[in-house]
Amino acid sequence: MIIIVMGVSGSGKSTIGKALAEKLKFPFFDADDFHPQSNKDKMASGIPLTDEDRYPWLELIVDALSKENNGVLACSALKDTYREILNKASDDVRWVYLNGDYETIKQRMEQRSGHFMKADMLKSQFDALQAPSEAINVDITLSIGEIVATVIKNINKAND
């Protein structure tokens, strides 16, 4: 099973993904680690990525995940077309959507340091977001433990 924790930048994908992977004893992958330097430089300069920038990046992720039996991936996966590509990683991909409003996420982003994504690019993320219809939808204002428990409960329910 591959679990993909998705949402806009600042929604908590890496934090939740790591906690979920630890709880399930699955390997954790961060999609940001697969970006070529040119993508990171572009985002750090405040320039949103295009689909042409993203497609090779997504294929690298699919290639890595397809070699795993289980795993948790933190990835923005903002558009349906991106999720369609990532679904090729496994016959059993589960989606977790970290859902939060613009102001809450903007505030979080302004408080963090050392990340290449700048808070002023958040608007472009919300503009690009196509909320998934088939995902475990989780409110980001819950605690990390509550989010992880909600995800596991929903995965177990789907497996029954």
Give pLDDT tens digits along the chain (160 positions). Answer: 999 999 998 899 999 999 999 999 999 999 999 999 999 898 878 787 889 999 999 999 999 999 999 999 999 999 999 999 999 999 999 999 999 999 998 888 777 665 545 556 778 889 889 999 889 999 999 999 999 999 999 999 888 7
- Tell me the C-alpha distance between 99 and 137, whole Å: 7
Give the pLDDT of residue 43. 80
93-99: strand order across its sheet: 28-30, 71-74, 2-6, 93-99, 136-139
75 within 8 A of 13, measured Cβ to Cβ: yes
pLDDT score for 48:
78
Question: Could you tell me the pTM of the whole model?
Answer: 0.90
Assign domain 2-159 to its CATH architecture.
Answer: 3-Layer(aba) Sandwich (3.40)
In the chain, where are the structural domains located?
2-159
Give me the pLDDT at residue 118, please.
53
Q: Please report the pLDDT score of residue 116 as a whole number.
A: 47
Main-chain dihedrals φ then ψ at residue 108, nearest 5 degrees:
-60, -45
